[in-house]
Structure 1
Amino acid sequence: MAQLVSAMEDTVSVQYGQFIFVDADGSDGAGDYPSPWELAFEEEERLQVTANGGLVSTGYSDHKVQVRFELWDAAPGHLADADSREVEFSTSSGRICLAELVSHSEHAFFDLGRHAASWKLRALVFVLRDPNEVDWEKEGFPSGVERYCLQFWPLA
């Protein structure tokens, strides 16, 4: 049975329907891989990754989301109440953090415990409120519309 090794939560501002996560070594990609900053919003692809980073496309723009990073020793069980997507992800430093597309807020790094490693990554999204019932003008940059969980575990 898979065991949770470590976890960390942070909040990021979603801008243009997206947020990014990047490696501490930089997000320029490697070799022929693009930077996560070069990935484009795709409504059908909630999660896109490249070397040292990735882009998460959300259903809505201009709001704050809570993101939980989780490191597992093996593939965690699936959650029935979440929309999910799995990909392979590689990182050079093994330390990643959140980033906004436009603003440049400081975010804490989450340590995956190994550098120059590849991982399975599952992105889960939980809708917390009906977005059609949010008064976007009144609330400005609302919180609590959706929540994300990024789960990492070693490749088998």
Structure 2
Amino acid sequence: MAELIQQQELDVEVDFYGFALQDLDDTQVPLEYPEGREAGGAFLTAHEGRLDIESAGHTHTAALTAEVWDAEPPAAEDRGAWEERAEARLHCPSGELALWGVATGPMDASVHLSDMDGMWQVRVYCEGRREVQRLAQEGVPEGIERYLVQFWPAAG
């Protein structure tokens, strides 16, 4: 049975409908965010050393829960009213991912995965998309769009 190793609660400053989780060591990332971003594309896109996530709101603060597990965790379908769900694989040489905005670049927050280089399986869930899309046209909402990102070591 999978065991939760750590959990972090972070605020994400979303701009231009997106943000990324990118290896803290940017020398390990061939295309730094937002280079190669497919704006308006898939909810989740994996690149070498980074994950691009497309939001439903232009400018707002989203809530992100990052979980690191020792094996594949149980699906979280019953933990939220998820409107999107996607999976990817990610190589993270530094063991840490910085949050990046489209225009603002790196944020002060980061997700600690491990103390060593690793390949990770990632599952991303999102709720509050319809509501943040509506509210972001009127102002800068906070905490309406919520993400759950689960990481666990990738097999072979």
TM-score, length of structure 2 as denominator length: 0.84
Structure 1 pair 48–27 and aligned structure 2 pair: CA distance change class (3 A):
farther
Structure 1 pair 27–144 and aligned structure 2 pair: CA distance change class (3 A):
farther
Cα distance per residue 1:100-139 (max 9 Å; x no partner): 12125642332211422101011110227734653733xx
* Aligned partner letter, 1:46: F
Matches within 5 A, 1:5-154: 5-26=5-26, 29-30=29-30, 34-80=31-77, 81-82=81-82, 83-104=84-105, 106-127=107-128, 130-131=131-132, 134=135, 136-137=137-138, 140-154=139-153
CA contact (8 A) 1:129 1:145 kept: no
CA contact (8 A) 1:62 1:141 kept: yes
Structure 1 pair 124–136 and aligned structure 2 pair: CA distance change class (3 A):
same
Cα distance per residue 1:37-92 (max 9 Å; x no partner): 21323445111121221210011211110111110011111122322101110011
Structure 1 pair 132–8 and aligned structure 2 pair: CA distance change class (3 A):
closer
Farther off after superposition, 10-19 or 35-44: 35-44
Structure 1 pair 135–87 and aligned structure 2 pair: CA distance change class (3 A):
closer
> What is the RMSD of the two structures over their aligned residues, measured on CA atoms?
2.2
CA contact (8 A) 1:119 1:154 kept: yes
CA distance in 2, matches of 1:119, 1:95: 12
Corresponding residue pairs, total:
151
CA contact (8 A) 1:86 1:121 kept: yes
Structure 1 pair 145–27 and aligned structure 2 pair: CA distance change class (3 A):
farther
CA contact (8 A) 2:57 2:133 kept: no
TM-score, length of structure 1 as denominator length: 0.84
The structure richer in strand per residue is 2
- 4+ residue runs of structure 1 moved beyond 4 angstroms? none
Farther off after superposition, 82-91 or 111-120: 111-120
* Aligned partner letter, 1:57: E
Structure 1: runs of 5+ lacking an equivalent: none
